[in-house]
Structure 1
């Protein structure tokens, strides 16, 4: 009954937002002046620290149910697999995880905004049942730049993330007449959950300037960052118009973070517009600790939203104790081995793998719930038990 009640309230809130918001045609561009004047301010360091102090030590995974190949398959009505989601989040709860990072997609909102919001609400209900508070990701620049609704393709055997799709896709990114649609997606989605304590935070854009060189580099926009940077700024402003009670962020993932002056322009936006600092690190323990120390200059709560790539030298035993030492949240890539096939390394786009690799690249559990390495789940359980 509680699950049903919270979902109904979520859909009702979304209905109020959609029915009261001014409607724009897709070929109209929006003005940022209205968004900025109505938007809440970026949190002060004190506000961010007060929020973080209430969360406890955050540990989780970037989550996609094993039966979905990408964000679209996870949340489309025909393939929304609540049974698998419930089962797999239960395994996460058993090892002490209390958050997940979950990707959404603009096409799902365009297709059926009310239905999409309802399904996100159902997912949040399931997560809450397992004492998990997810971080929701709005946009993503990684992998396939040509997303399409409907039945998603089957995985390419042995290929890492062979079906993951970008949001917005290349065509929308290049077409400013679609920005009004993207604005409605950001504002509508954030507004539906702006005061919802089931949501941990909003990750505005995952790796916004990633060129996907080793996978889709030949079909990517050469000057991608020129399109993404201004849209990233707009997206932060759009999200703030909903006055969310949760923090907004975008995680730096590559580059020189020695000082603010050494950051690329897009990284400066990601840091300056974020309420909390988030980052990615797929390197060894020493580099993980170095990156934390570099980002301490901003004196804000920190969450590593992607780490743990065994084949690249990033392991739980190296990074997780360091994260705990510095009270940095830790969200590793991948929970259960499935259609995303992230047990295979990044080089599987260039190198052929005909069987399961002896050393998994990402992920923690097999599809039947048994750990890939019990010593890893024992470590996670031990560290989270004393948090």
Structure 2
């Protein structure tokens, strides 16, 4: 079993990477992880076409969710389809962060045909992995261990894999959607032993890639303020990851708190336009700070993540055609906001090792690069 990387080793690995800019990827014709990967619905041509869109705006990484039930059903076929996906991404110069477990949305996943999207509902068909019944059933532990070990054994030496995200938002889910402290604690207690084990199982496969699990909730201003689950996430991770859907000031504050770990930082989820988490607000800050950044969504589709989490997130629901919540492209590769696409291409074209990024100003209705000291001061104050 390899040990957790030291901070020095993690930072050496990070120094060899380009600045990571990417998205959380689900093809537009899949409502969830199961529909994306099951043999009957795995659609490599659509995946290839949409990965080409990601590459066209300079993305060099994607974050992709797997599912334990897919390993249970057909490990050989599942591995073959992951290979196909990685090959498609590699053809476009994209590396993949693979997510093993996820606590968000529906708690009782089932194989087979997946539901159709519910009109007007964000991520209406997304499913947890493992589901709550499996979390509560100690007899399921063996198959979950086999899943983690099996996937990491197959891809732990594969350079097309960027990193392993052991568990997405492990203290989240519909049963804690209002973030009641007691409910959060109950969910965390259920997940925490398996989270620790999953890190151990993955490490025992000796992967060349870093392991991580992103924190997303609460006050991280000191280690003492972290919950037991957050403490495990941050102290078991080789690189520290986090989620943030706030504005630039909130993003900066939270990143500053996490610098106490002295490890590379990756924001594995951001970009909720009505909340102020926009490409223009966040990406220049992330790049200047050396923080990798993955937005949520690429092509509007069956996940319907162009819609807000809840109606109150955007009171101007009639205006969602003008300002989506997540996602970048519509069907056919049409950009939701051509200026966003221009910005992404400009930022990705700048050498990530350059200490001062050219700030973006609006001149004559068009964005242009500027390296003026005044512009840099204004951006830092924003």
| TM-score calculated relative to the size of structure 2 | 0.88
Q: 2:3 aligns with which of 26, 38, 41?
A: 41
Are 1:71 and 1:165, in contact at CA under 8 Å, matched by a contact in 2?
yes
Post-superposition CA distance 1:86-143 (Å, at most 9, x none) = 0011011011100000000000000000110110010000000000001000000000
Specify whether residues 257 and 80 from structure 1 end up closer, same or farther in structure 2 by C-alpha distance, changes over 3 A only: same
3-state DSSP of counterpart to 1:77: coil
Instruction: Mark the runs of 5 or more structure 2 residues left unpaired by the alignment.
Output: 353-382
Task: Indicate whether 1:73 and 2:35 are aligned.
Answer: yes
Structure with bigger strand share is 2
Q: RMSD value over aligned CA atoms? A: 2.0
Partner of 1:6: none
Question: C-alpha distance in 2, partners of 1:197/1:221?
Answer: 36
How far residue 354 of structure 1 moved from its aligned partner, in angstroms, is: 8.0
Equivalent residue in structure 2 for 1:340, among 293, 303, 306: 303
* 2:126 alignment partner, one of 164, 179, 203: 164
How far is the alpha carbon of 1:216 from its aligned partner?
9.9
Does 2:214 match 1:264? no
Aligned positions of 1:1-387 closer than 5 A: 39-213=1-175, 223-348=186-311, 357-386=321-350, 387=352
Deviation of 1:211 (Å): 3.8
CA distance in 2, matches of 1:217, 1:285: 23
Give the C-alpha shift of residue 224 in structure 1.
Answer: 1.5
Give the Cα–Cα distance (whole angstroms) in 2 for the partners of residues 204 and 259 of structure 1.
Answer: 23
- Contact 2:96–2:161 (CA under 8 A) maintained in structure 1: yes
Distance 1:301 1:311 in 2: 28
* Contact 2:7–2:263, Cα closer than 8 Å, also in 1: yes
What CA distance in whole angstroms lies between the structure 2 residues aligned with 1:133 and 1:238? 23
CA positional deviation for 1:335: 0.6
Task: Say if 1:355 and 1:380 are closer, same or farther in 2 by CA, change over 3 A.
Answer: closer
Query: 1:355 Cα shift?
Result: 8.7
Structure 1 159/357 Cα, relative in aligned 2: closer, same or farther at 3 Å? farther
Deviations 1:179-235 (A, max 9, x none): 1000000000011001000000000000000142586999x9982211101110011
* Per-residue deviation, 1:350: 10
* Distance in 2 of aligned mates of 1:355 and 1:88: 26
**Residues 170, 221 of structure 1: 8 Å contact kept:** no
Structure 1 length-normalised TM: 0.87
